[in-house]
Amino acid sequence: MVSEVSAPPKSASLVGALVGNNQIVLVAALVVICVGISLAVPQFYSSANIIAILRQVAMVLIVACGMTMLLITAEVDLSVGASLAFVGVVAMDVINVTDSVFLGALAGIAFGALVGLVNGLIVTRLKVNSLIATIGTMMILQGGVFLYSREAIQNHHHLPSFVDIGAGYVGPVPIPVIVAAVIFIASYVVLRHTTLGRYLFAVGANEKTARLSGLRTTWLKLFAFVLTGALVGVAGLILGSLMNAGQPTAGRGFELTVIAAVILGGTSLSGGRGTLIGTLLGVFVLKVIDDGIIVLQWNQDLQMIVPGVVLIAAIYLDILRRRADAR
Amino acid sequence: MPAEAATAAVAETAAPLPLEMTGIGKHFPGVIALDNVDLSLEAGKVHALMGENGAGKSTLIKILAGVYGKDTGTIRIAGRETSIASPGDALRQGIKVVFQEIALISEFTVAENIFLEQYPTGRSGSINWKKIRQDARALFERIGFDVDTNARTGALPISQQQMVEIARALAHEARIVVMDEPTSSLTPAEVALLFTVIRRLTALGIAVIYVSHKLDEVFEIADTVTVLRDGRHISTRPIGEHTHDTLIQDMIGRQIDDLFPRSRGQASGKVALSVKGVATEKLRDVTFDVYAGEVLGFFGLMGAGRTELAKAIVGFDPIDKGTIEIGGRPLHPHDTRTAVSLGIGLLTEDRKGEGLMLDLPVVYNLSLAALGSFARGGFIDETAEREAAQGYVDRFRIRTPSLFQEIKNLSGGNQQKVLLARWLLRGLSVIVVDEPTRGIDVGAKQEIFALIDQLAADGHAIVMMTSEMPELLGLSDRVMVMGEGRITGSFSRDEATQEKILNAAIV
Amino acid sequence: MQKILFAMLAAGTALVAVSAVPASAQDTPKRIGYVVNYATHEWYQNVIKGMKDHAAEIGATVEVKDANLDVAKQVSAAEDFIAQGVDVLILTPVNEEGVVPLLRRAKAAGMPVVLEGNPVKGMTTMVAICDYDTGYDAGVAAGKYAKENLGGVAKVMNVGLPLLSATVLRSQGFMDGIQTEIPDAVMVHDLDGGGNPDRALEVSTAALAQNDDINIIYGINDSSSLGGLQAWKAAGKSQDGLLVVGTGGEGLAFINAMENEPSYRIEAAMFPEKNGYTAIDAAVKVFNNEEVPPHIVSPTAPMIGDEWSKYYDYDGTTRSIKWDAVNALVPPAKCTKTAADLK
Amino acid sequence: MPQSSSIAARSGSQVTDTFATLGRRQEIALVLSIFALIAFFSFTSDYFFTVRNLTNVLGQGSLVMIAGIGVAIVFMSGEVDISVGSLQAAVAIPLIEVMNATGNLWLGLAAALLLGLIVGVINGYLSAYVGINSLIVTLGMLFILRGGVYLYTGKTAIPDDAYLESFFVIGNERFLGVVPYPALIALILLLGFMYVMSHRPFGRKVYAVGGNAEVARLAGFPVKRVKFTCFIISSVMATISGILLASRLGSAVHLAGIGFEFQVVAAVVLGGVSLSGGVGSLLGMALGVLILAFMSNGLGMLDLPTEWQLVITGIIIIIAVAFDEMKRRRAG
C-alpha cells in the first residue's frame, strides 16, 4: 500500500524549519530557562550552583544512558528507582563486612546488573511486556529491600575513598560528573559508531528483521537490560556515597525522572529512534528546572507540575514537526 | 455481448448510473497520484480497473472508500453529486470496498465480522446476537460457502477470511462493491466460487469494480476495463475490444518482450543447500537439494507451507526433525545467526513486517547483515560502509535521493532491491526469496527478475517461493510443488507446465 | 427477609458491644490492633517495638497492619481489625482528616480507639509528642550553641516537609526557639526535602549553592538533616562553623552521625519506643472506660553532643532504650501549639 | 497479508460476544484461584472466613474495581491511562469544597464529575486526536494533577464540614446492613459496562479499535472518537472511585490515591486484559481485583512483614502475564 503512494523526500516546509528538530527546541528551551533564572537569581551562575546542578545531572544521566539504549531496543525499565535503593544498601553492607570499597562497588554494580538480567530474562524469555514486567520487579525490589534491611545501613567502615565516589573532586570537577561524562561518551561512541549500537537500533526498529539478518536479538535486548542495571549500580553507589548510608527508602520516582528525560530528548517509546545528545539535553532541562524552582524559592510543588507540562509540550512540538515534515 | 454493454454505457439511459467519477485528481507530497481520472459504473456490470502498481488504482478506490479525500473532480452516486467523507460515509452511501489486506477483526467471530459495520440492534439499541448468528449462517448458505460462523476469525485460513470479507459486502446491501485483488490468496476452486458470487451480485443489479492484475481473470469476469497508468486515465473499453497484448500495452505503455531474461548457463553440480526430512508443525518430511547457480522454484497454493519452509530452512522457525546443510555444513544450532554465517538468508514476503527497518535510512537497512565486515574491533568504518552501499545503489539502480533517506519513503521495488542488496553485501551463497515481486510494479519486477537471474549466473543458489505461475515458469531451473506441507511434485524446467503444476498442487 | 438481616446485624453489634465493654477496671485487653501509617520507617519500627514490649509485660498481643502511607488502605486495615473484633484499636493516621469517618464507624461498632501521633476530630484520646515543643527545645539548644560556637549568627536552612502538619510545627518551633537566644536568626531557605534522604540531599544541594551564608541545617527528621549535611559535605565545604540539628532519633543514623560528624551536634530525640509504650497504657485505659485526657503527651528531649548514650545502648548493630532514663523525663502537660493553630 | 498474519498470531480464546463469558478458561482459572485463596486463608486465620470480613473485602476492592472498569476499557482500546490515582485525589477537592459551600451533595458530585470530564477530555484529546503516546500523556497528567492538588491544598486535607449524612453513607454504610455501598455501586457499574462491552455497538467498537485500528477505520468506525470516549469513561470511573474514597476519608486528602494506578493496572493485567488492546474482559478484570483484594486482606492477617505483600503482588503479576502470553502463543 505504502509503496503506491510513497512519499517523496522530505520537503523543508516553513513550519518544519521553524520548529526545527527536537534538539534545537531543547537547546533553546535550556537557554531561555537559564537566562530567565539567572536574571532573577544571579547566584544561579555561581560555581557552587553549577557544580550542584552537574552533580544532579550526573546521577540521572548515568542511568539515562542505559535507558536510552533500552528504549531504542523498544523496551523500558521501571524498576531502576527501586533498584537504586537496593544497590546502595547492598554495597554499604558489603563494604562494612569486607572493608573494601572495591568489593562493595563490585557487589553494587553486580547487583544492579543482576536485576537488569532478571528483567531482561522475564521480557525476552517469558515474553512479558517490559512495562508490566518491570512494574512487577519494581514491587519486588521495593518490598525486598525492606525485607533485606529495615534500617538504613550505616557507614561503619569510614573509608575515605567511599566518600570520594560521590563527594570527591578531581581538580574542580566532582567525581560523579567525571564518571557520568565517561559513561556518556562511551555510550555515545557505542551507539553511534559501533556495530553493537547499530544492532540495538535494528532490534528496536524491527526485531524480526534483525533476527532474519542473523543478529542475536535476545542477547541484544538482554545486553541493554543488563547495561541499564549495571549503570543503576553505578548511580546507586554514588547516591550511597553522597548519603553516606545505604538507604532503603531512596530512589522513589527516580525511574520517572530518567524516563522523562530520555523521552524529552526525543527517544521514541516504540523503539528504533533516539539519540544520546537528546538525552543529555533532556536531563539538563529537567534538572535545571528542578534547581531553578529551588533557587527562585518558588513553591516546590511546581517541581511536579512543570516537568509534566514540559514533557507533553515537547512531544506535542515533536509531533507538529513530524507532521510538517510529512506535508 | 460485452460490446453491447459498452454501447449501452455510452448511450443515454433512463436510470442514472450508480457511480460517476469525473476529473478526479489527488496529489501527495511530490507525487501526482491521480490526474483528471474518470470512471463510471453501470448497474449489474463488472468493471475491471487495471494498471501497474503506482498507476493510481489503490488511490482511486481509497477515495471511493472514503479513506482519502479527493483534491479535484466530482463524484455522483445514482446521479446525485456527493462527497465521501469517511469509510463510514462510503458505507452509508452503498459503497463496500473489499481490500486486499484482510480487514477483519481476528478476535471476533465470523458472524460478528460480517455485521461489523452495522450491528443489528433491537429497539433498546442492544445488539441482537441471535439475529447476527442466524443471518450470518443464512448468508453463507445462500452463497454456498462452508464457514463456521461461530469460529474466531483469526483462527481461519487466509483464504476463508477472504471469503468472509466478500460475504460482508453482501450483508450490507451495497449497490457498489469494490474488490481489490480478491483472488491473490484463493485456490482455483475458490476463485470459481468467487466468480459465481460476483455473477449473483451483478444479477441483483449491483455494480462491481474488480481490481486485478491477472489478465485471465479479467477476461473471464469483466464487462468493461479501465486502465490507469501513472495516475492518468488511459482507456476504458469493453473487454471484447481487448486482447492480452492490447491490455498489457495500455498498462505499461510499451511492450515487454523479455520479462524473464536468461543470461545464465547450466548450474554446476555442486550442492549448495541440502534439506533432508525436515518436519515442523506445518511441514512433513521435506527433502530437496539446491545446486549452486540454479533457481529452484517452489509453488504451492495458500497454506501449502512455502513460507513455513522458507522460514525453517533459514533458521527463523524451529524444526522438529530433519537436517539442513549449507555448503556441506549442518545448520546447527538451528538459528538465523548460524544460518547467515553459513551463507543462507531469507528475502521475506513481508517486507514491512520482517524486512525493513522503516524509520532507519537506506544505508543502515542495506548494510545491516554485513555490518561486521565494515567493523574493526566493533567500530564501523562508515566511509567503507557508505561506499559499499552506494555501489549497490548504483548497480541495482535503486532510486533514492540519498543514502540517508528513511527507507519507508522508497517505492516497493526499490525497497526490495535494498533488501536483496543487504544479502549480497553479506555474501550469501544461498538466497531464499519468498514472493519476490509482491507489491512491486511491472517495470521493477523485470529488474528483480534480471537480478535473480544474474545472481544465479554468479553462482548463487536461489530458492524461490512463489504463487505466481508466470514467475515460476519464467525463472526456475527446476520446480517443486508443495501441498499441505509436503513436496507433492518435482519437475525439470522442460517438464514443467502450468497444468502439471496445478495438478500436483491440489492435494 | 429484611427483618432477619436486621436481627442478625443487631445481634452482631450486641456481641461486639458485650465483648468490648468489660466489667472490671482490672481487665487488660487481649488483642490490640495497631494500624501504622508507614511501618517501613525506622520511627514506626521503634514505636511498634515499644508497643510490643509493653504489651508483653501486661499480657496482651499487638497485631500490626501497615497502611504504607496509603489513606485508602488505612481505612481498609482498620475495617479489617473491627471485623476481626480486636479489643482496642490504635491508629497512626496517614492523614488526620482522612480517618474522621473511620472513628465514627468505630464508635458505632463499640470499638475503643487510641490515636497515635496526630489528633483527629471526634477522638477520645491521642498519644503524641509535642512537635512544636520538640522543635522549640532543640531551637533553644541550637541558639545557645550558636552563641558559643558560631559567633551568635544563625542562618538556617530548613529541610522541611510541608506535606505534614507535624513536621511544619517542628520547623516553626525550631525557629521560634532559636530566636529566644538569637533574635535575628533567620530561615534563609525553606525546603521541601520530602522527608527522605535522597530528595533532601538534592534540594539542599541547590539551596546551599545559592546561599553560602547558611550555617545551621535543621532537618524535620534524621533523613532530612543527614541529607542536608551530606549535601554540605558533597559541596566540598568544611564542617567548621556548621551546626546540624536533627529531629526524631528514629534509628541508628543519628547515633552514627553524632559519633562521626563534627557538625552534627544536636538531636531532638522523640523516643518512638516511649511513644509506643504510652500508647499501650492509653489503650488499656480506654478499654476499661477510664477517664483519659484528650492528649497524652509522650516526652521528648534535645540531646547535645554525646548525651544520646544517656538514653540508649548501642552495640553497633542495634540500639536499646534505657527505660529508666526515658521514663524519668517529664513531658509538658499540654502542647504550646498544635496542628489546629496552623489553620 | 503481513497485517493479517501478525494479528492471527495474537490469538487466545477470547471470543467476547455474549454473556457466555463465564464459560471461558481465563475466567475459570481466576475463579479457581480465588477459591484457592479463600480456602488457604480460611485455614491460616479464624477471622478470614466470616461474612463481615468477606463483605469488607468486597467493599475494599470496589474502588479499584470501579476505576479498573475504565482503565480496562482504555486498555482494550489499545491505549493506557495511569492518571487515575492523581485524579482520585483531585476530584475530591471540588466535591468537598462545593459541598462545604452549598451544603448540597448533588452540586458537589456535579463539580467532581465536571473535573473528571475535563481531565478525560484532555487525556483523550492529546492521546486520540493529537496522537501523543497515551502513556506519556497520562504520566504527565499524573504529575500535573498531583502537583495541582498539592498547590491548591497547600498539602493539607480539606475536611468535610458539611456533614451530609448521605455523603457519609455512600462510602461507609452497608446496603441492608450487609453489602457495603461501594461494592453495590461497583457491581452495578460492572454489570452495566459488561453489558455495554458485549451488547452495545460501542463496546464492540472498542474491541475492534484495540484489536486492529486500521480495520476498524475501514469498517467506518470513528477510531479517534472511540478512543477519546474510552478516556472519558476512564476519567469518570476514576472520579466515581474518588468520590467514594472521599466519603470514606470524610475529606479531600492530598495524599489520596498515590500508587492507586499501580493497583488498578495490576488488577487489570492480572484479569487478562492485554496491554496491546483488543482482548480481555471486564469480568476477568473484576476477578483480578478480587484476587488482589483477598490477598491483601488474607496476608494482612498473617504475621508477615507487609513488604511481602508487595513482593508477592509483583511476582503474581509477572507470572500471570507470562502465563497469558504463553497460552496466547500456543493458541496462535
Q: Which residues contact B199 (CB under 8 A, 6 or more apart)?
A: none
C abuts D (3+ Cβ pairs < 8 Å): yes
pLDDT at position C2 over 70 = no
Residue A5 falls within a domain, yes or no? Answer: no
Hey, are the CB atoms on B158 and D1 less than 8 Å from each other? yes
Task: Determine the distance from the C-alpha atom of residue C301 to the mean position of all C-alpha atoms in its chain, rounded to a whole number.
Answer: 13
Asked whether residue B296 is domain-assigned, the answer is yes
Residue A277 covered by a domain: yes
| CA atoms within 13 Å, Cβ hemisphere of B43 | 15
A 10 A CB-CB count for A47 gives 9
Do B333 and B435 belong to one domain?
Answer: yes
- B36: enclosing H helix or E strand: strand B31-41
Supply φ then ψ for residue B366, to 5 degrees.
Answer: -75, -40
The rounded distance, in Å, linking the Cα atoms of D46 and D50 is: 8
CB–CB of C130/C302 below 8 Å?
A: no
Q: For residue D1, what pLDDT is reported?
A: 31
Q: Is the pLDDT of residue A80 over 60?
A: yes
Output the CA–CA distances (angstroms, integers) from residue B341 to B380, C19, C244, C294, D43, in the order listed: 19, 79, 65, 81, 59
Q: E-assigned strands of chain A?
A: 153-154, 169-170, 173-174, 245-246
Contacts of A149 in chain C (CB under 8 A): none
Contact between chain A and chain B (3 or more Cβ pairs less than 8 Å apart): yes
Q: Which residues of C touch D241 (CB under 8 A)?
A: none
Kindly state the DSSP code that residue B267 receives in the 8-state scheme.
Answer: P
Would you say residue B274 lies in a domain? yes
Q: Is A137 on the interface with D (CB under 8 A)?
A: yes
Q: For C119, which DSSP code?
A: -
Percent of chain C at pLDDT exceeding 90: 59
User: Which chains, if any, share at least 3 CB pairs under 8 A with chain A?
Assistant: B, C, D
Q: Do B443 and B312 sit in the same domain of this protein?
A: yes
Distance from CA of B108 to the nearest CA of D (A): 6
pLDDT at C343: 66
Q: Which of C65, A273, A288 is nearest to A265 (CA)?
A: A273
Give pLDDT tens digits for D140-164.
999 999 999 999 998 888 999 988 9
Substitution target from C42, C202, C261 for chain A, most A beta carbons within 10 A: C202
Each residue of B284-324: pLDDT tens digit? 999 999 999 999 999 987 678 888 999 999 999 999 999 99
Mean pLDDT of chain D: 87
Give pLDDT, residue A259. Answer: 92
Question: What domains sit in chain C, N to C, each tagged with a CATH number?
Answer: 2-129+272-298 (3.40.50.2300), 131-269 (3.40.50.2300)
Q: Is the ipTM of this complex over 0.90?
A: no
- Give the neighbor-by-neighbor strand order of the sheet with C295-297: C61-66, C31-36, C88-91, C113-116, C125-128, C295-297
Rounded to a whole number of angstroms, the distance from the CA of A253 to the nearest CA of chain D is 11
Q: Is the peptide bond prior to B333 cis by the omega test (within 30 degrees of 0)?
A: yes
Is there a domain that residue D200 lies in? yes
Q: What is the mean pLDDT of residues B402-408?
A: 89
pLDDT of residue B442: 66
Is residue B216 a part of any domain in this protein? no
Higher pLDDT, D302 or C101: C101
Assigned C-alpha cell, C247: 529531629
pLDDT, residue A22, reads: 65
Residues B306 and B437 in one domain: yes
What's the confidence (pLDDT) of residue A59? 93
pLDDT level of residue A43 (50, 70, 90 thresholds): confident
- Cβ contacts of residue A215 below 8 Å, gap of 6+? A199, A202, A203, B336, B337, B368
Q: Closest CB to D17: pick one of B89, B109, B117.
A: B109
Between the CA atoms of C168, C48, C70 and D135, what dihedral angle is there, to the nearest 10 degrees? 100
CATH number, domain containing residue A179: 1.10.3470
Shortest Cα distance from B107 to chain A (angstroms)?
A: 20
What is the percentage of chain C residues whose pLDDT exceeds 70?
Answer: 92
B11 pLDDT tier (thresholds 50, 70, 90): very low
Q: Kindly report which listed range (B44-58, C254-268, C281-295) carries the lowest average pLDDT score.
A: B44-58
Looking at residue C13, its amino acid is T
In this predicted structure, what is the pLDDT of residue B301? 75
Rounded distance between C-alpha atoms, residue B98 and residue B104, angstroms: 10
Q: Minimal Cα distance from C205: which residue of A? A: A52
Residue C237: C-alpha distances to residues A274, B192, C208 (Å): 39, 89, 10
Distance CA A233, CA D297 (A): 35
B376 and B320 within one domain: no
In a domain, B282, yes or no: yes
> CB–CB of D286/D71 below 8 Å?
no
Name the average pLDDT for chain C.
87
The shortest C-alpha distance from C127 to chain D (Å) reads: 21
A325 contacts on B by Cβ (under 8 Å): none
Residue C295: strand pairing partners: C126
Angle at D143 between CA D140 and CA D146, to 5 degrees: 145
d(CA C200, CA C224): 5
Residue range C284-295: mean pLDDT, rounded: 91
Q: Of the ranges A263-272, B308-317, C238-247, C276-285, which one carries the lowest mean pLDDT score?
A: A263-272
Number of domains in chain B: 2
Kindly state whether residue D1 falls inside one of the protein's structural domains: no
| pLDDT tens-digit readout, A99-115 | 999 999 999 999 999 99
The number of folded domains in chain D is: 1
The alpha carbon of residue B445 and the mean position of all alpha carbons in its chain are separated, in whole angstroms, by 13
- Residues B321, B300 share a domain: yes
Check whether A9 has a pLDDT greater than 60. no
pLDDT band at D71, cuts 50/70/90? very high
pTM, whole model, 2 decimals?
0.86
C122–chain D Cβ distance below 8 A for any pair: no
Flag whether B104 is in a domain. Answer: no
Q: Where are any strands of DSSP class E within B364-471?
A: 375-376, 379-380, 430-434, 461-466
Cell numbers found for residue B269: 553440480
Do C113 and C88 meet the contact criterion of CB atoms below 8 Å apart? yes
How would you class A31 by CB atoms within 10 Å of its CB: exposed for 0-12, middle for 13-18, buried for 19 or more? exposed
Determine the Cα–Cα distance for residues C87 and C192; give it in Å rounded to an integer: 39
Contact criterion met (CB below 8 Å) for D216 and D225: no
**Would the pLDDT of A161 be above 80?**
yes
Q: Within a domain: residue A184? A: yes
Q: Is residue B502 part of a domain?
A: yes
Residues of A contacting chain C (CB within 8 angstroms): 41, 43-44, 46, 48-53, 55-56, 146, 150-152, 154-156, 158, 163, 166-167, 169, 174, 239, 242-245, 247-252, 254, 290-291, 294-295, 297, 300-301
Alpha-carbon distance of B491 to B498, in angstroms, equals 11
Range of B422's domain? 353-427
Whether residue B420 sits in one domain with residue B289:
no
**Does position C26 have pLDDT exceeding 80, yes or no?**
no
User: Among C271, C272, C268, which Cα is nearest to C302's?
Assistant: C268
- Domain enclosing residue A175, as ranges: 22-34+44-318
Note the pLDDT tens digit of each residue in A285-298: 999 998 898 888 88
Q: How confident is the model at residue B14 (pLDDT cuts 50, 70, 90)?
A: low
What mean pLDDT is predicted for residues B251-257? Answer: 63
Q: Which residue has the higher pLDDT, D155 or A14?
A: D155
pLDDT range class, residue D76, cuts 50, 70, 90: very high
Report the Cα A64 to chain-centroid distance in Å: 2
What pLDDT was estimated at residue D141?
A: 94
> What residue in B sits closest to A208 (Cα-Cα)?
B354
- Contact map slice: C 66-95 vs D, CB within 8 A: 66, 68-73, 75-77, 79-80, 83-85, 94-95
For the ranges A291-300, B160-169, B472-481, the lowest mean pLDDT is seen at: B160-169
* Chain B residues in contact with D221 (beta carbon < 8 A): 88
pLDDT of residue D15: 38
Domain total of chain A: 1
pLDDT of amino acid C17: 40
Q: What is the pLDDT of residue C333?
A: 86
The C-alpha R_g of chain D, in whole angstroms, comes to 20
pLDDT in tens, B101-136: 778 888 899 999 988 888 888 888 899 999 999 999
Closest-approach residue (CA) in chain B for A8: B30
B472 and B436 in a single domain? The answer is yes
Q: What is the pLDDT of residues D262-286, one digit of tens each?
A: 899 999 999 989 888 888 899 999 9
B300 and B443, same domain (yes or no): yes
Between A95 and C197, whose confidence is greater?
Answer: A95
Average confidence score pLDDT of chain B: 86
- For residue A136, give the nearest of D140, D144, D314 by CB distance: D314
Q: How far is CA B484 from the centre of its chain?
A: 21
Strands (E), A215-275: 245-246
Same domain? B260 vs B405 = no
Position D202 scores a pLDDT of: 94
For residue B269, being part of any structural domain is answered with yes
B360/A198 Cα distance (integer angstroms): 10
Instruction: List the domain range (segments joined by +) for residue D306.
Output: 11-331
Give contacts of A215 with chain B, Cβ < 8 Å: 336-337, 368
Q: How far apart are CA B21 and CA D234, in angstroms?
A: 44
Would residue D240 count as lying in a domain?
Answer: yes
Substitution target from B58, B68, B347, B360 for chain A, most A beta carbons within 10 A: B360
**pLDDT tens digits, residue range B485-503?**
899 999 998 888 888 888 8
* C70 Cβ under 8 Å from any chain A Cβ: no
Is the pLDDT confidence value at B238 over 80? yes
The domain boundary, picked from B394, B427, B460, lies at B427
Q: Give the C-alpha separation, A198 to A272, whole Å.
A: 10
CATH of the domain at D282: 1.10.3470
